[in-house]
Amino acid sequence: MFAVAYIIFFSKAMDVKVNKKTKSQSEEELHSLSKEELIDRIKQLEAHNTQLKSIVQKNLQNREETGNGKRAKKHRPFDFSKCFKRHILLRFYYLGWDYQGFAAQEDSIETIEHHIFAALKKVCLIESRETSNYNRCGRTDKGVSAFHQVISLDVRSKFPLEDQLHEASLVTELDYCSILNRVLPDEIRCLAWMPMVNAAYSARFDCRSRTYRYFFPRGDLNIGAMEEAAQYLLGAHDFRNLCKMDVGNGVVSFVRSIDEISIRASQVDSSGNASYDMMYLQLRGKAFLWHQVRCIMAILLLVGQGKEAPGVVKELLDVEKNPCKPQYSMASDVPLNLYQCEFNEKSTETNGVERLQSNGESELSTWIYKEDDLRRTISDLQALWTKESVKTTMMREMLATLHGVLVDQFGTDRPITEQAVTLTQGVRSREYCPLLQRQRCESLENRIEHYSKKRRIEVSVKSNDTKAAGGSDEPAS
């Protein structure tokens, strides 16, 4: 219902004429309809919803093409049949705070992936996403950033396949990063590229570990207690109580392994006030569940605030004792960063594509940077840093002045150290209810049964396997 309302609103905002619906029927009138009449009614609504989605997509495309209200000039189509192709990895950073996540969406162009593909097509490095042999290292959600996002794809090359790994070819190849950065938004930058031996090498399936960092101010948090709680997370566990269960997309196994977890200092406050020190939680693993890091951070913040004992993490990991997740709010998306990705020496994918060598050596080479590109990228990031740091410095000065007023006017030097409190989303109640005493969410078994009845997933009793219609267990934050 919300989606339909949003589409109608968006269509009006885009000056699109939408036929008005007939007067909505009351609940009593709907109850009086026969089964056949209700089926017809649902079909009408679905057809209307499809029509509205089509209108929104068309207007989003028009908005992108027209830019500042002027129709873009039409150029002669680029002839990709005359070009060579090579398979590469591309490394990006992006500040995702103002974007709707990494993955492309039907009803929005404000995603990182949309802008990357718009840039790739604009500079004619690829013909289309469908023909580019594309894979992404992972999906980051709305508001989440990345310093080391990697994609694999086939791009245009100046050289035939047999010459692509020659040193001279690598030096004089198209400057992929510079070409892309000229047309990407300021918050998205291509840092480096890597030539690949194997055209089946996948940024998604051949990534062996992903490292996330979650930044937060020290405030009055008990860092020692948070570190003690974090150690319970090491190793393989069922994280169903520390993530958002995406059963509707076929994810029914929530066992994941965290190979490294630590809390470290990132930046010390220049005035010596430790409550303004910036810290970060670092986690490394092969794959993460939907909202897993943010749920983990939410619990650690409760421990740091003294509201929960470190052992609560151990209790939440015991899914036999606690099969249903307690209701709690996640930590904010803004401080989360996909910080590092590491890849297999050789691809696990074998789809029969041609390789440039088969001598058993590593299929990874080194990332190719160019000094001018890197200097320009650092300068661009410094400009963004300057803008935000000036704001931060102004607020820090205001806080210091207000603290002085508090001391002068009321004779109290009791510090206010609530910097980290606002990272936990949701409404704060006056009286805190311990996690294990809260209302519980549905169990995993109930969710599986619910979606299998709706035919969103198929459960095989013999193989204990679950499949989803269009589902994905892709590494995500």
Residues annotated as catalytic are 141
Of 285, 275, 293, 283, the closest CA to residue 223 belongs to 275
CA torsion 146-147-148-150 (nearest 10°) is: 50
Side-chain-facing half-sphere of 240: CA atoms under 13 Å: 21
Instruction: Tell me if 241 sits within 8 A of 443, measured CB to CB.
Output: no
Nearest to 94 by CA among 461, 367, 380: 380
Please name the residues in contact with 64: beta carbons below 8 A apart, sequence gap of 6 or more.
109, 118
Which two tokens mark 251? 């994810």
Q: At what angle do helices 35-66 and 2-13 cross, to 10 degrees?
A: 40
* 367-389: burial string, b at 16+ Cβ within 10 Å, e else: ebebeebeebbeeeeeeeeeeee
DSSP per-residue string spanning 233-249: TSEEEE-GGGS---GGG
DSSP 108: B
Q: How far is it, in rounded angstroms, from Cα 11 to Cα 105?
A: 17
CA-CA distance, 426 to 379, in Å (whole number)?
37
**Measured on CA atoms in the order 356, 360, 361, 363, is the torsion positive or negative?**
positive
Rounded distance between C-alpha atoms, residue 154 and residue 123, angstroms:
14
Residue 469 and residue 260: Cα distance in Å, rounded? 34
